[in-house]
Amino acid sequence: AQSVTQLDSQVPVFEEAPVELRCNYSSSVSVYLFWYVQYPNQGLQLLLKYLSGSTLVESINGFEAEFNKSQTSFHLRKPSVHISDTAEYFCAVRVLSGSARQLTFGSGTQLTVLP
Amino acid sequence: DTGVSQNPRHKITKRGQNVTFRCDPISEHNRLYWYRQTLGQGPEFLTYFQNEAQLEKSRLLSDRFSAERPKGSFSTLEIQRTEQGDSAMYLCASSLGRTDQPQHFGDGTRLSIL
């Protein structure tokens, strides 16, 4: 079975400051890794994904995440945050093989950007 | 791409009543998933369809829950004899058939049990 741990439930940060949201996972098999963002009363939107290849993946709105296999981590970073980045962020994994097709999510990190 | 559509957005009902939610996936997506999200938690997997076949069910899906996808297009999730613990956001997602394809989520149905 897989599990995802997001160590920080809440991260307050000032506008234009850098931020890192931490994600660690546990799995006995290889996984795909995802970050989703959820705004209030909405569903989840895919932010970025790691499938294979370069361990550093980027989104169109300035976020990036780095897959670290040895540390089983997939931390999300942004060098300068905006008020509009305030949202809940979820890290998720999905196994590469076998019958399981679902995502396993962490408990989320609420990012609050302060003016 | 019109996105995943879920109806209703909100449902308030009394304990013991039956409720049904609908999900319309992105039209070319053959995989459809249901998740449940409680306050302060990440979504938890309930069940998954490939076309009209229900291929996997979580242990969270008690016998009061049933899901269908009769023609491989829209899906319904029914909860019978609702309980207080059923209060949650119910999310639907869809994807193409390959494992590396991301899941696209709807805005969910928020269920409140009085």
Q: Is the dihedral of CA A57, A93, A77, A55 positive or negative?
A: negative
Give the number of residues written for chain B.
Answer: 114
**Three-state secondary structure of B49-80:** EECCEEEEECCCCCCCEEEECCCCCCEEEEEC
Nearest chain A Cα to B5, which residue? A43
Tens-digit pLDDT profile for residues A35-75:
999 998 888 999 999 988 888 888 888 999 999 999 999 99
Residues of B in contact with A94 (CB under 8 A): 99
Contact A43 B107 (CB under 8 A): yes
Name the residue facing B103 among A99, A103, A106 (closest C-beta).
A103
B55-61 average pLDDT score? 85
Q: Is residue A18 over pLDDT 70?
A: yes
Average pLDDT over residues B82-101: 91
Q: Which of B6, B58, B102 sits opposite A46 (nearest CB)?
A: B102
From first CA to last CA, the distance across chain B in angstroms is: 36
The shortest CB-CB distance from A102 to any of B6, B48, B106 is to B48
CA distance B1 to chain A (A): 14
Using CB atoms and an 8 Å cut-off, which of residues 34-53 of chain A contact chain B? 34, 36, 41-46, 49, 51
Contact B87, B112 (CB under 8 A): yes
Across the interface, whether the CB atoms of B42 and A90 are under 8 A apart is answered: yes
> Are the CB atoms for B73 and B5 separated by under 8 Å?
no
CB contacts of B41 in chain A (<8 Å) are 107-108
**CA-CA distance, A105 to A89, in Å (whole number)?**
10
Q: Measured between beta carbons, which residues in chain A are less than 8 angstroms from residue B99? A: 32, 94, 96-97, 101
Mean pLDDT of A24-35: 91
Per-residue pLDDT, B81: 96
- The pLDDT of residue A100 is 65
Which position has the token pair 């319309």? B24
CB A43 within 8 A of CB A90: no
